[in-house]
Each structure stands twice: as structure tokens, then as C-alpha cells.
Amino acid sequence: MERDVLSVDDLSSEEVTRLLDLSQKVKAHPGDYGEALKGRSVALIFEKPSTRTRVSFELAVAATGGHAVTLSASELQLGRGETIEDTGRVLSRYVDAIVLRTFEQERLEVLARAASVPVINALSDFEHPCQCLADLLTVREVKGELAGRTLTFLGDGNNVAHSLLLGGAKTGMNIRVATPRGFEPIPLIVQRATEIASETRGSVLTTHDAREACAGADVLYTDVWASMGQESEASERALVFQAYQLDAEKVSLGRPDVTVLHCLPAHRGHEITAEVIDGPHSAVWDQAENRLHTQKALLLWLLGAA
């Protein structure tokens, strides 16, 4: 039976570790996997704009010998009323996997039920599991062992925060999420991450105190204050979120060797200052590169090629 990755929670703790191990092998020895997906095709469907996800997935498929078919919703009959179920059934007859970037998590779930090939969540309003794998790989490269490390996320309790809570818990990390009141991560995600952390000796903390969350952290992470589809709220959110800006003061509260992450695109001067994203603590560009390597590993694993 095919596996889908619609959430980080679709992966066990052991599988997350295995994928990170494979990602490091793929990154170190890309030539060993140059024909691993030869003869395989992957459909990449984007119902939201994309830079890193689109480019990294296209290149991940090509670099492993496969063929990517990249489509926007407007280029498919989806844009003229065909159901997501029928799209999944048809594409399953043509391709070996489907990658979807969309709005509602429900669309991914409906697609996965109808499709007979693996479906990957390339971002939804609920989660961003592909980003989380790249984040974990980056922290592992910089810090070594993930277990026991403290990662603080500042800003909106959004899809990235949700995946970090789950992924961090699965790897035994201490995850802190600091948000303004009313912008907390979904309680169900926090509850699930707490349950996982109790088994992996990690921990989960949600707070409204940004300075407390940053104190002694190994990693400081932020994301845009207004996600795709929330652009009309940007000005209002900028006022509410100002105390959560990742600036030099926040960096000084972390450990001396604290690492700074941002999943991009960054709005410099808003959720992060230019001096921080371009500064000595930043691993943002390594983090962006690692999307390529973790997505190669995810495709290889799901398609039984590694």
C-alpha cells in the first residue's frame, strides 16, 4: 500500500531519523542517486505561488533521474470544475507520485484517498512537512544531535509552527512557540506534540513572552507574520507582532552559538532584521538548500528507490 506524507505525524520518530540520514547521504553523494528514479514521473501541482518548493522539487526529481510534470490549478481541469478526487484518479494512471501545494488540508486528504500513488503535502494552511524536514536537517548539521536541543519559533502559530512542533517532538527536541494572544498554534497540534514529546524526552512550550522563549535557545526561527491568503491583514498584524521580531536583542538572549533560521520568503525589517538574517548566526541559506536534499530523500523513500 502506498504511503502519503500529508503531515509530519504521518512519519514515526524512527522514519524521521531515517529520512534525515538518507538526506545527508544524498547531499554528500548525489551521484549515487542520479538514476534512482529513472523511468518514474512525479506530478507537481501548485495552487499557491512557490519559489523554493517548486524549484527544489523539480530539481530533486530531475537529479534522481525522474521526470517532473509541473502544473498550476489554472492549467488543469481543476480550474474548470473537475473534482480533486477525479484529478487524483486520473493522475494515478500517469505518474508515480503527486505533490500538491494548496490551501485547505482537506484537499490533500481527499486527493490522497482517491489517488493510488503517494501524495506529498508541499504546503497547506495546516502544515508544511517538507519544510520541517529541511529545518531538522539544518539543525542536525549545525548542532549535531537533535535530542535535547531547544528551538524557539517566534511569530504566528501557523503551518510551519505546527510542523516544527510535531517534528521537533519526534526528534526529542525542546520546542518553544511564542506568539501574540489570539495567534497561538492549534491546540490539537500542541496536544499531539506534547504527547509525542513525553515519549521522546522532548518538551513543548507555548507562550506569549518572546524574551522568555528565546532565553538559552539553541535555534531561533521565524516566518512571515501574514501567510499566503492573509495579505489583507499584513498592516494590522505588523502592529501586533512587533514584539516578536527576530532582532539582535533576541539573538543575544539565545546561547552564544545560537543558530537563526527562516523558511523564506523574508520580509526584512518586519519579522526579522537584515543584520540578523545576513549575520554570523544565520543558517538560512543552508536551510533553503536543504529543501532539495530532503525532498530527494522523501521521493526516494516513498518510491522504494533507496
Q: Of 223, 237, 281, 287, which is the active-site residue?
A: 223
For residue 19, the model assigns a pLDDT of: 98
Q: Hey, what's the cell of 162?
A: 505546527
pTM of structure: 0.96
Structural domains present in the chain: 8-127+291-302 (3.40.50.1370), 131-287 (3.40.50.1370)
For residue 77, the model assigns a pLDDT of: 65
Confidence of residue 82 (pLDDT cuts 50, 70, 90): confident
My answer on whether omega of the bond before 49 falls inside 30° of 0, hence cis, is no
On the question of pLDDT at 222 being above 80, the answer is: yes
Confidence of residue 238 (pLDDT cuts 50, 70, 90): confident
Q: Of 40, 131, 132, 218, which is the active-site residue?
A: 131
User: pLDDT by residue (tens digit) across 283-303?
Assistant: 999 999 999 999 999 999 999
Q: Hey, what's the cell of 87?
A: 484529478
For residue 129, the model assigns a pLDDT of: 98
On the question of pLDDT at 304 being above 70, the answer is: yes
Confidence of residue 32 (pLDDT cuts 50, 70, 90): very high
Is 295 catalytic? The answer is no
Is 101 catalytic? The answer is yes
Confidence of residue 136 (pLDDT cuts 50, 70, 90): very high
Mean pLDDT of 251-278: 98
Q: Which of 141, 193, 140 is nearest to 7 (CA)?
A: 193
Mean pLDDT of 246-259: 98
Is 181 catalytic? The answer is no
Our measurement of the distance from residue 98's CA atom to the centroid of its chain's CA atoms, rounded to an integer in Å, reads 17
Least confident of 67-76, 95-104, 127-136, 204-213: 67-76
For residue 80, the model assigns a pLDDT of: 63
Q: Of 40, 52, 54, 101, which is the active-site residue?
A: 101
For residue 140, the model assigns a pLDDT of: 98
Task: State the DSSP string of 180-206.
Answer: -TT-PPPHHHHHHHHHHHHHHT-EEEE
For residue 228, the model assigns a pLDDT of: 62
In which element (H, E) is residue 140 found?
helix 129-143
Mean pLDDT of 72-90: 81
Mean pLDDT of 108-120: 97
115: three-class secondary structure by DSSP: coil
Is 128 catalytic? The answer is yes
CA distances from 196 to 164, 184, 199, 218 (A): 12, 19, 5, 21
Mean pLDDT of 80-87: 85
Residues in CB range of 11: below 8 A, 6 or more apart: 5, 19, 129, 170
* Surface-to-core class of residue 206, CB atoms within 10 Å of its CB (0-12 exposed, 13-18 middle, 19+ buried): buried
**Using CA atoms, how far apart are residues 37 and 294, in angstroms rounded to an integer?**
15
Q: Of 9, 176, 263, 270, which is the active-site residue?
A: 263
On the question of pLDDT at 79 being above 60, the answer is: no
Mean pLDDT of 98-117: 97
Q: Of 40, 149, 237, 291, which is the active-site residue?
A: 291
Is 130 catalytic? The answer is no
Is 223 catalytic? The answer is yes
For residue 221, the model assigns a pLDDT of: 98
For residue 242, the model assigns a pLDDT of: 95
Q: Of 40, 128, 140, 281, which is the active-site residue?
A: 128
Scanning the structure block, which residue is given the C-alpha cell 504521518?
Answer: 10
